[in-house]
Amino acid sequence: MNIHGILAIYRFEMARTRRTLMQSIISPVLSTSLYFIVFGTAIGSRMGEIDGIEYGAYIIPGLLMLSLLSESISNASFGIFFPKFSGTIYEVLSAPVSPLEVVIGYVGAAATKSVMIGTLILLTARIFVDYSLDHPLWVITFLLLTSITFSMFGFIIGIWADDFQKLQLIPLMVITPLTFLGGAFYSITMLPEPWQSLSLFNPVVYLISGLRWAFYGAADVNLGVSLSMTLLFLFLCLSGTWWIFRTGYKLKQ
């Protein structure tokens, strides 16, 4: 394992974060804070409880997941897309680093940024809403799994995209709607049929439900199912990344 190669990629990506601190870290935290102010403080104070949890606290896992998914994909996709766009990707491919080490460097940096953002969001939420962590180790587990999985998904998007428009297509047109419809602001048990059953085909439902259980011990879906779905998506992303480097898809063409 070429540790120096991994660290070189990792440090380069983290240095880019420091140069764009406002866009990379502060902006998503401020955006999520607005949700806490509007939904948690203003609207939440006038709404009833869901599963015995105050509405302002109930939406924290959903908002945290919304930020994790979007930022993980965005950071990882841009991290690999820009070298491909500028042509410097060939320097990485010709360097004495394996595909696995390249992925660890880029995905590791993107996941680190997402974990930092998630931690800051949790600290910020405490200012507006009172919440508890019933299972803190599971919170950390879902935080890490989600960050790594969707950073890898973003890595795949960054290789697939041919321009900046494609780079934003899946996060804006697919991931964000799925998150809003995945129980971020409500419990799917509140939906009438057939919408409740159809919601189970939304993979983000399992992510939000698992994280919500880690917070409050209440979930729409069994914890084992949520964890299994998360690991399944991680496996699919690993398989997709392996196939890309095996075939050289949009890397050596």
pLDDT in the model for residue 130: 84
For residues 158 and 78, is the Cβ–Cβ distance under 8 A? yes
- Domain span at residue 78? 3-247
Number of domains in the chain: 1
- The confidence score (pLDDT) of residue 44 equals 66
Q: Which residues of 162-183 are buried (b: 16+ CB within 10 A; e: fewer)?
A: eeeeebbebbeeebeebbebbb
Mean pLDDT by 10 residues, the chain (253 residues): 86 84 80 80 73 87 91 90 83 82 91 92 87 91 94 93 86 89 88 88 93 92 92 93 86 65
In a domain, 124, yes or no: yes
Residues pairing with 53 in the sheet? 50
Q: Which two tokens stand for residue 248?
A: 């050289």
Q: Is residue 117 part of a domain?
A: yes
pLDDT for 45 equals: 67
Say if 252 falls within a structural domain: no
Q: Which two tokens stand for residue 201?
A: 């085909």
- Please tell me the distance from the alpha carbon of residue 73 to that of residue 160, in angstroms, as a whole number: 13
Q: Is residue 197 part of a domain?
A: yes
253 assigned to some structural domain = no
Instruction: Please report the DSSP string for 206-231 in residue order.
Output: HHHHHHHHHHHS--SS-HHHHHHHHH
